[in-house]
Amino acid sequence: MGVSRRGFLGILGGAMAGATLAGGRANAQPPSSTSADSFGCLVDLSLCVGCRKCEAACNKQNSLPQPDRPFDDMSVLDTFRRPDADKFTVVNRHLVGGAPAYAKVQCLHCLDPACVSACIVGALTKEPSGAVRYDASKCIGCRYCMVACPFQIPAYEYSEALTPRVRKCEFCFERQMEGKAPACVSACPKEAMAYGKREDLLLMARERIRSSAARQVTASTEGAADAASTPAGDAAAGNGAAPLPLLPYIYGEREAGGTSWLYVASHPFESLGLLRLPPEAPPRLTEAIQHGIFKNFVPPLGLATLLGMAMYTLRGRKEKEQ
Ligand code: SF4
Ligand code: SF4
Ligand code: SF4
């Protein structure tokens, strides 16, 4: 299976950012490190009932615009959605084996974030707490972060003509600093999310897997047909990484180098729209591309031109297909 357009563009975008930097690395972001004490969230998708209380709490916490339809309007779930500049988290409903199953989506706060690595001015940073934060005062609007993110999370305020920002979940950093759980976690009536040290959450996830018969299914194809017929299924299937192992499995323990947000589920993750990703952190992949090219004396400007042409060609091909 080939690398999807978005996945390939992610690698290219990161490599282009790196190529630009190679001529003057003063602003380059060092690889992010995350201490064993960093925080994370464990989302147990088997407990989520799709009530959207987490969405409402996030909207309030971040003073986001009121949506066209209220948060208790469940008809919103009829359509597959992505986080955007006005909503940092969304819950999607998937049909798995004919039954509804829900999946909350937000920034996963990667351990070695591609968005941080791609940002040439240091507007994105990985905090020791685990949060990946954004500083609008440093941002020049290049949007490399949007291209680089393997989870397709950062959004841009296209509606803001003068001062557009990149927007995404920042793990409720202010609440973290006050010792509080993120607003979405606290609002969930089903306690589908747990907040704590990532190391502890991994132990918790393993315990949940051990104690749940539903999660011991290791060779189920349940939901594959449903997933393939949804936008989420298409997205999940198309980035060239090996198929996600079926259960038991902790999503985020290794994906894209590991993430602060982790998931366990009672259905195959791909049927819930979670993307299939390789275990290498994208910054390491872009470095490998750069090293290979610089070893052969291709200068940064040449690389940027080559990759720009490749992106242009891919976009043109995609538009032609539509
Ligand atoms: S999910 Fe995307 S936006 Fe979030 S930290 Fe990872 S690379 Fe950055
Ligand atoms: S952690 Fe905070 S910003 Fe992120 S989805 Fe939850 S409520 Fe929204
Ligand atoms: S509040 Fe909890 S149960 Fe409700 S949609 Fe969000 S994660 Fe699911």
Residues 249-271 pLDDT 10s: 999 999 999 999 999 999 999 99
Q: Which domains does the chain have, with CATH numbers?
A: 5-282 (3.30.70.20)
Which range of 96-105, 230-239, 300-309 scores highest in mean pLDDT? It is 96-105
Which residue type sits at 161?
A
Tell me the two tokens of residue 10: 């992610």
Tell me the two tokens of residue 305: 């031109």
Residues 12-31 pLDDT 10s: 444 444 333 333 233 334 44
Ligand 1 centroid distance, CA of 268 (Å): 22
Instruction: Judge whether residue 60 has pLDDT over 70.
Output: yes
b or e along 174-201 (b: 16 or more beta carbons within 10 Å of the residue's beta carbon)?
Answer: ebbeeeebbbbbbbbeeebbbbeebeeb
Ligand 2 centroid distance, CA of 168 (Å): 9
Instruction: Judge whether residue 3 has pLDDT over 50.
Output: no
Residue nearest to atom 7 of ligand 2 (CA): 58
Q: Which ligand is nearest to the CA of 93?
A: 3
Query: Which position has the higher pLDDT, 33 or 176?
Result: 176
Q: Which ligand is nearest to the CA of 87?
A: 2
Query: Which position has the higher pLDDT, 186 or 20?
Result: 186
Instruction: State the pLDDT at residue 211.
Output: 84
Tell me the two tokens of residue 272: 């819930």
CA proximity to 284, closest of 146, 110, 112, 154 = 112
Cis peptide before 248 (omega within 30 of 0): yes
Pocket test residue of 151, 262, 263, 277 for ligand 1, highest count of atoms within 8 A of CB? 151
Q: Which ligand is nearest to the CA of 147?
A: 1
Mean pLDDT of the chain: 78
Instruction: Judge whether residue 235 has pLDDT over 50.
Output: no
Residues 140-177 pLDDT 10s: 999 999 999 999 999 999 998 889 999 999 999 999 99
What is the arithmetic mean of pLDDT over 278-300?
A: 61
What is the arithmetic mean of pLDDT over 28-55?
A: 82
Atom of ligand 3 at shortest distance to CA of 193? 7
Ligand 3 centroid distance, CA of 304 (Å): 43
What is the arithmetic mean of pLDDT over 124-130?
A: 97
Residue nearest to atom 4 of ligand 3 (CA): 51
Q: Which residue has the tokens 């779930």?
A: 77
Neighbours of 1 (CB within 10 A): 11
Residue nearest to atom 5 of ligand 1 (CA): 109
Which residue type sits at 182?
P
Instruction: State the pLDDT at residue 36.
Output: 72
Instruction: State the pLDDT at residue 147.
Output: 96
- Max Cα–Cα distance, the chain, nearest Å: 58
Between CA 126 and CA 31 the distance in angstroms is: 10
Neighbours of 162 (CB within 10 A): 4
56 CB contacts (<8 Å, ≥6 apart)? 71, 187
Give the 3-state secondary structure percentages of the chain, helix then strand then coil, rounded to 5: 40, 15, 45
Q: Which residues sit with their C-beta closer than 6 Å to ligand 2?
A: 57-58, 61-62, 88-89, 106, 169-172, 182-184
